[in-house]
Every structure is written in structure tokens, then in C-alpha cells.
Homo-oligomer: A and B are copies of this chain.
Amino acid sequence: MSDRAAPRAAVDPSDAAERILARIRERGGAPTIYDIAELAGVNPSTVSRALGKPGRISAATAQKVEDAAARLDFRVNPMARALQTGKTRMLGLVVADITNPVVFDIVRGAELEAAAAGYTLVIAESQESGVNEAEAVERLLPSVDGLVLATTRMPANQIDELAARKSLVLINRAVDGVPSVLPDVESGVEQLVEHLAEHGHRSFVYLAGPDRSWISARRWAAILAAAERRGIAIVEVGPNAPTIEGGRTALRRVIASQATALIAYNDLMAIGFMQESAAQGIGVPDRISVAGFDDIFGSELIVPALTTVRADLVRAGRQAVAMTLSGDRDSAASAGLLPTSLIVRGSTGAAPRR
């Protein structure tokens, strides 16, 4: 081994590091691969390779580079990398309303999956407005490698256009040719309608969500079909705001229908409806049974606790991100539907006797 140090290499390496660190501090920036290259005595391109693709470099050089990088506390500049590669390693997630409990689980799932893949998640809120949503999408688009739209309000053609530009995945919305993560609405609805039918209910109201909500239409279709199959009377009341307030203000119209069971577009509306019922002295479930969708936080706190159709939203978030990253359009079909299940609680019971 040529262990004897070359006489002219007598510079104290830790001194060199100090000198470089001082220079970095002085220019007030972060260390770059040039700094590392200098300290390790190699070319910047070698540093890039050593850090980026471990295989293609000699073990000795790789070690030198890694040591130098650690010594200088180096982190790659994501902007510079993105500029060169065209990949930002960021993902966008657009949701309608961050304060809606339904969204939390989606966000968490997406965050988990994104972080696991080394991606950074950027979240934007549309506040239930299509215009805001389009703006948010435009703002995010140049910075992200892919986009997840949860319960989007955008028209199908806009979505198509978007999908052509970026890897795009939809949650709770189907558009031909665009990958999406969808709950198996039928299965949960079937259980719910069966549960209500068993309790003697022969007349339902569906309290619809917002006007152009794809998923609200989807739920309505499933409920309608299941009710028809059993010869149960059903009407759709709406559209309504998908909020507590939306549920509250619908009370009178629902009661006027003389239905004995209410299925709300989501738990928030069901909760609003129940609050207003309580205020008006209308008994739940004695006078009317109430059910919702989503099983949000709060559904088991309210009295009576809310019967609801739950979907695994954390999984939806994870899956959407995974699909966005794979960029594989065909996986959309193969992904299948997310299972849903009925959670029976106190807000549903026997239909009142005529």
C-alpha cells in the first residue's frame, strides 16, 4: 500500500474544511457541490454522481465525497436540481375545505405516502369554489410533478386538459381516461338501505350535497337504485351546502316530506340536521332516522351518535399519491374500489308506527 503521505499534501484537511466553511458563511449561502469538490479534491460532476448514483463511482472517491459532504453539512439545492431534471419531487393536493374533517384523513394518507417516497406535499384549499380551485391548480402546477384533486368541482374538460399536462389523480370523482380513487359506494349504501328497510322504513329522503358534486350524484344514484329495488319511496332534496348549516336549513323541507328516514350527503349535514331537530323538538331516531357518509370525527360524539357509511380515506389519500407517482394510467382500472362499510349507531332506529 502506498501509505506514505505525499510530502506536498501536508495541508491539514480539517483546516481546509474550516477555510471553506468560513467562505460559505461569508457569502451567506448554503454549501454547494463545488465546495465539496474542492474539499474532496475531485470534480463537481464527480460529487454529483457520488451523491446521486452510488454505483457508478469508486468506493474510495465515494467515501471522500461523502465525508466532505457531511463535514460541510451539505444538502442538495432542490431548485437547482429541479431546473436541470425537470422534476421537482413535489406533489400537489387540492382539497375543497381543510376544516372539513373528511379531508384530514385524505391529507394524512397523502402526506404519509408522499413522505415515504421522498416527495414533498403541497396543499391548497379551494374553499368549495371552482374559481379558487382553478387558481390554486394554476399556482401549483409549475412546481409539482403530479397533482391530486380531492372532490374537485372542475368541469370534466378542464380536468382532461390538466391530465394531459401533468400526472393527475382524482379522489371521489370519475372522469373518463383520468385515473381516480373511488369508494365502493354501492356496497355501503346497500348495507345502509337494508338496515333502514329492516327497521320498517318505507320512505326516505336523500339530502343532496352541492350542485355539481360528482360524488353526491353518485351516492344519490346508488341510494335510488337500492330503494327502488325494495319498493321504498325516495326523494332527493337539494342541492345544499355540504356543511352543518346546510343540514340545519334543510330540516323543514325534510319534515314536510313525511319521510321516516334521512340519508344526508355527508356527516356534517347529518349533524346539522340533528342539531336543528333537537332545537325543534323533533326526535331522532323516534320521529326520523338519520344517517350520513364519511364517519368524521364528531359523528360518534353527537347524541344520538350518527349512523354512517365509512370509507377508508387515509387509504384513499395514500393510493392517490401512489398512483400519481407511478404515473401509470392503467393502474387506475386495476386499483379497484375502496371498500366502504356501514357503522350503525343510535341515530337510526325503528320507523314510527303510522
Residues of B within 8 A of A128 (CB): none
Q: With A297-B297, A297-B298 in contact, do A143 and B125 touch (Cβ < 8 Å)?
A: no
Q: Nearest chain-B residue to A97 (Cβ)?
A: B108
Q: How far is the CB of A300 from chain B (nearest CB, A)?
A: 9
Is A117 in the interface zone, CB < 8 Å from B? no
Interface residues of A in 89-104 (CB under 8 A from B): 90, 98-99, 101, 104
| B143 and A297 within 8 A (CB) | no
Tell me if A75 counts as interface (CB < 8 A to partner B): yes
Copies in the complex: 2
Are B99 and A104 in touch, CB under 8 angstroms?
yes
Collect the chain B residues with CB atoms within 8 Å of residue A124's CB.
111, 115, 120-121
Contact (A138, B29) CB under 8 Å given A111-B98, A125-B108, A298-B298: no
Please, which residue of chain B has its CB at the minimum distance from the CB of A86? B29
Residues of B within 8 A of A302 (CB): 301-303
Binds B, one of A77-85, A186-194, A285-293: A77-85
Is A347 at the interface (CB under 8 A from chain B)?
Answer: no
Number of A residues whose C-beta is below 8 Å from B?
41
Contacts of A30 in B (CB 8 A): 142
Interface membership of A159, Cβ < 8 A: no
**C-alpha spacing A83/B79, complex, angstroms:** 6
- Of chain B, the residue at the smallest CB distance from A92 is B120
> Within the complex, what minimum Cβ distance (angstroms) separates A129 from chain B?
12
Q: Do residues B141 and A123 form an inter-chain contact, with CB atoms below 8 A?
A: no
Q: Which residues of B contact A79 (CB under 8 A)?
A: 79, 82-83, 88, 142-143
- What is the minimal beta-carbon distance from A245 to any residue of chain B, in angstroms? 13
Q: List chain B residues, Cβ under 8 A from A104.
A: 98-99, 104
Q: Which residue of chain B is the closest to A100 with respect to CB atoms? A: B104
A34-78 residues at the B interface, CB under 8 angstroms: 75-78
Name the B residues within 8 Å of A86 (CB-CB): 29
Interface string of A140-165 (1 = CB under 8 A from B): 11110000000000000000000000
Is there a chain B Cβ closer than 8 Å to A271's Cβ? yes
CA distance A76 to B142 in the complex (A): 8
Q: Please judge, given known A-B contacts A79-B82, A79-B88, A83-B80, whether A143 and B120 are in contact too, CB under 8 Å.
A: yes
Q: Which chain B residue lies CB-closest to A275?
A: B301
In the complex, residue of chain B having the shortest beta-carbon distance to the beta carbon of A274: B301
Asked if A335 is at the interface of the complex by the 8 Å CB criterion, the answer is no
